[in-house]
Amino acid sequence: MTTYSATGTYGYCQYTVLPDQTLEGFINFYDLRTLSAIHIHSAIDGNPILVWLATSKQWQTGVAQATPLANCPCCTPGCSNPTCSLIAPPCTPRTATRSFTTYRFKVSPSSCNNTVTDPACGTCPWISQGTLLNFHGKDFQYVKKGCPSAGSPGADMIESIPFTLLN
């Protein structure tokens, strides 16, 4: 088994890769009042998101990237891209209620936490590409009452911390 950790301004996260390549870990959240989303990405290009750790109501309405409404949820009227690529699974904790708490997670290679990863490839990306702990702020364009809110397209990345090997 191999254990990795990452420490940032908003939390300490640790996970272990089990013999069957399951990723199991926890995050100790710090003050999350200024955050909208927290997740673990594959390090090579940011895709896929391996584990959603926390999200906000605003993030769940869609985060515009370079193009307004490019990553809006499927259920949003007028959505031009039904892939929902930046939306957390429904059971993801809300940033508004998770400051100074611990959240535990477990992700098997066959699930890769609802990402578009083919389990037939043999390994999930956290084995071959490494991982990043990402914290996003609230300064981004999202869907508000069916229309894009004020703010700039982009995911307002505040911190992106590489996980380092503990053992």
Structure-token pair, residue 96: 């508004």
Provide the residue range defining the domain that includes 135.
2-165
User: Structural domain tally of the chain?
Assistant: 1
Place of tokens 């990795």: 4
pTM, full prediction: 0.79
Question: Quick one: pLDDT at residue 91?
Answer: 81
Q: What is the pLDDT along the chain (167 residues), one digit of tens a residue?
A: 889 999 999 999 999 988 887 889 999 999 999 999 999 887 766 667 788 899 998 888 776 655 554 554 434 444 444 444 577 877 889 999 999 999 999 887 665 444 433 333 345 556 667 889 999 998 877 777 767 777 666 778 899 999 999 97
Question: Quick one: pLDDT at residue 92?
Answer: 86
Run of H or E including 73: none
Question: Quick one: pLDDT at residue 127?
Answer: 63
> Among candidates 2, 44, 9, which has minimal Cα distance to 25?
2
Structure-token pair, residue 118: 């083919």
User: 126 with 50: CB under 8 angstroms?
Assistant: yes
Structure-token pair, residue 135: 């914290």
> Among candidates 53, 60, 55, 163, which has minimal Cα distance to 105?
53
